[in-house]
């Protein structure tokens, strides 16, 4: 093989042959391609967000305000792009979606392991989601690990302690995040000091709000596409999605606002 055949190119660096060959519509319906591409794009953004939030956690543990802010801003920008993707998906009418919906069989967005990991990183501790995955599969292992590992909030508590705001850390990482008056008192001092930690705190509020916005837009997109029908794969569809709206990832960040 010649050197030119081994030379790195745009296509080979991005593995475009594999990426562009990864769409396999199960019908001849024109709109199925859009449905596949949008969801593959989502999975790529979920992968990048997990990558960024893992880095944000490491920076928080080190008390590194500057790099934490940069990483959280990037994560929020990615989330905004993911929300904007819903605009594209909403160009599909209910009739267009129903033209290939039956071909999805038992597959469902509820089975997105990366989204479940992302939820866990942001503090959601819902072990019921494990029932969607094979007991011996890698996806289940990854989600289980995320559900029992420090989330972004736990790293933020470490960050506050590193900057002299003494707060209790959580002993049971597998438990849901509960409001804590001691943390709220410390956050009040953070806002009074109005320094770097207050900027990090506001970025976490932005991220929490952005994730809730994504959930709301997703619910409305599903509702306008299938109404109140059962979701693909037998999921409860809109009813379940609606139950997740306005559940804040970081409740202390919202509770403290009533005290400022």
Q: What is the CATH number for 143?
A: 1.20.58.480
Q: Per-residue pLDDT for the chain (260 aa), expressed as one digit of tens each?
A: 555 668 999 999 999 999 999 999 999 999 999 999 999 999 999 999 999 999 999 999 999 999 999 999 999 999 999 999 999 999 999 999 999 998 887 777 778 999 999 999 999 888 888 888 888 999 999 999 999 999 999 999 999 999 999 999 999 999 999 999 999 999 999 999 999 999 999 999 999 999 999 989 988 888 888 887 765 555 555 666 667 677 899 999 999 999 98
Domain membership flag for residue 26: no
Domain membership flag for residue 71: yes
Domain membership flag for residue 4: no
Domain membership flag for residue 15: no
Domain that holds residue 141: 31-258
3-state SS string for the chain = CCHHHHCCCHHHHCCHHHHHCCCCCCCCCCCHHHHHHHHHHHHHHHHHHHHHHHHHHHHHHCCCHHHHHHHHHHHHHHHHHHHHHHHHHCCCCHHHHHHHHHHHCCCCHHHCHHHHHHHHHCCCCCHHHHHHCCCCCHHHHHHHHHHHCCCHHHHHHHHHHHCCCCCCCCCCCCCCCCCCHHHHHHHHHHHHHCCHHHHHHHHHHHHHHHHHHHHHHHHHHHHHHHCCCCCHHHCCCHHHHHHCCCCCCCHHHHHHHHCC
Domain membership flag for residue 17: no
Number of domains into which the chain is organized: 1
Domain membership flag for residue 13: no
Q: What is the pLDDT, as a whole number, of residue 129?
A: 84
Domain membership flag for residue 21: no
Q: What is the pLDDT, as a whole number, of residue 5?
A: 67
Domain membership flag for residue 93: yes
């Amino acid at each position: 093989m010649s050197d030119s055949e081994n030379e790195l190119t745009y296509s080979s660096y991005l593995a475009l042959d594999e990426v562009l060959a990864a769409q396999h519509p199960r019908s001849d319906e024109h709109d199925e391609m859009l449905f596949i591409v949008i969801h593959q794009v989502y999975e790529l953004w979920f992968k990048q967000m997990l990558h960024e939030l893992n880095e944000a956690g490491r920076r928080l543990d080190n008390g590194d305000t500057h790099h934490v802010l940069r990483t959280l801003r990037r994560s929020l920008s990615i989330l905004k792009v993911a929300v904007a993707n819903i605009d594209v998906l909403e160009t599909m009418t209910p009739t267009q979606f129903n033209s290939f919906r039956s071909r999805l069989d038992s597959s469902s967005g509820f089975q997105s392991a990366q989204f479940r990991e992302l939820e866990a990183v942001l503090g959601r501790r819902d072990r019921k989601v494990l029932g969607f995955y094979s007991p011996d599969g890698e996806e289940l292992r990854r989600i289980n690990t995320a559900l029992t590992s420090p989330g972004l909030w736990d790293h933020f508590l470490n960050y506050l302690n590193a900057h002299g705001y003494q707060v209790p850390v959580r002993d049971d990482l597998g438990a849901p995040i509960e409001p804590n008056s001691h943390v709220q008192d410390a956050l009040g001092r953070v806002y009074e000091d109005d320094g770097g930690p207050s900027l990090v705190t506001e970025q976490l509020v932005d991220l929490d709000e952005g994730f809730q916005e994504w959930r709301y837009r997703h619910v409305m997109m599903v509702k306008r596409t299938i109404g109140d029908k059962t979701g693909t794969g037998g999921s409860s569809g809109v009813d379940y999605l609606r139950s997740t709206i306005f559940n804040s990832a970081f409740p202390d960040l919202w509770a403290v606002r009533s005290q400022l």
